[in-house]
């Protein structure tokens, strides 16, 4: 019964991801843009992640200046949670260290999630945002996953007019960064 329940939950999650992916792909998923305080959002995501992943150390580095972007808060939060879940899922160290950093570069806000996990191959770094892509080492039932999470993250970030990319070194860790345009009226105040 437990195995059947687990498989049913996995199938339900896959169907949800496929449905969201197709709606994003067809530009049929509504976005609700409003001013979002990134400093507060990142602190909230880190705090919630600390409860979910007690085995990991989280550090949040945000500037004193409040950075605000026009975004769909829930969808942006989903992207950040997916990146953190991937950091934990592909962790090969006894102690997981995840750093969530926010910085301002000119008129852009850069969010970076660094981890000390297994890293991604050079070929994988070019393909991780492609639909259904999974690193060969992760193709096992222990980690699971549909290969859609980062593709969905990319679509959401691009709908925000932003960019997402990864830099990684095998055995050292991975950094995934998101660039979003700051809200000029708040930055200028």
Query: pLDDT tens for residues 78-103?
Result: 999 999 999 998 899 988 999 999 99
Please give the structure tokens belonging to residue 182: 């700051």
Question: Is 2 part of a structural domain of the chain?
Answer: no
Distance CA 30, CA 19 (A): 13
Residue 156 belongs to domain with CATH number? 3.30.565.10
Question: Is 19 part of a structural domain of the chain?
Answer: no
Distance CA 109, CA 179 (A): 6
Question: Is 37 part of a structural domain of the chain?
Answer: yes
Residue 21 has pLDDT above 70, yes or no: no
Please give the structure tokens belonging to residue 39: 């400093």
Residue 18 has pLDDT above 90, yes or no: no
Distance CA 39, CA 134 (A): 31
Q: Which residues face 114 on adjacent strands?
A: 99, 175
Confidence of residue 111 (pLDDT cuts 50, 70, 90): very high
Say what the pTM is: 0.80
Residues 6+ apart with CB under 8 A from 147: 131, 132, 133, 134
Question: 20-24, 108-112, 172-176: lowest mean pLDDT where?
Answer: 20-24
How many domains would you assign to the chain?
1
Question: Is 58 part of a structural domain of the chain?
Answer: yes
Average pLDDT, stretch 72-80? 94
Average pLDDT across the chain, whole number: 84
Question: Is 152 part of a structural domain of the chain?
Answer: yes
| Domain extent for 165 | 31-188
Residue 139 has pLDDT above 90, yes or no: no
């Amino acid at each position: 019964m437990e195995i059947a329940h687990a498989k049913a939950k996995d199938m339900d999650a896959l169907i949800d991801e496929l449905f969201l992916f197709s709606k994003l792909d067809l530009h049929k998923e509504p976005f609700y843009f409003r001013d979002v305080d990134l400093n507060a959002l990142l602190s909230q995501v880190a705090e919630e992640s600390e409860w979910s992943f007690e085995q990991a150390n989280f550090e949040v580095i945000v500037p004193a200046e409040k950075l605000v972007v026009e975004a769909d808060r829930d969808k942006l939060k989903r992207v950040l949670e997916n990146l953190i879940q991937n950091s934990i899922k592909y962790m090969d160290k006894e102690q997981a260290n995840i750093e969530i950093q926010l910085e301002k570069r000119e008129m852009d806000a850069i969010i970076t999630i660094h981890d000390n996990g297994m890293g991604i191959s050079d070929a994988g770094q070019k393909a991780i945002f492609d639909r259904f892509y999974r690193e060969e080492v992760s193709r096992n039932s222990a980690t699971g996953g549909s290969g859609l999470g980062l593709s969905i993250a990319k679509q959401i970030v691009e709908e925000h007019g932003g960019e997402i990319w990864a830099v990684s070194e095998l055995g050292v860790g991975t950094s995934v960064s998101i660039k979003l345009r700051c809200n000029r009226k708040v930055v200028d105040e």
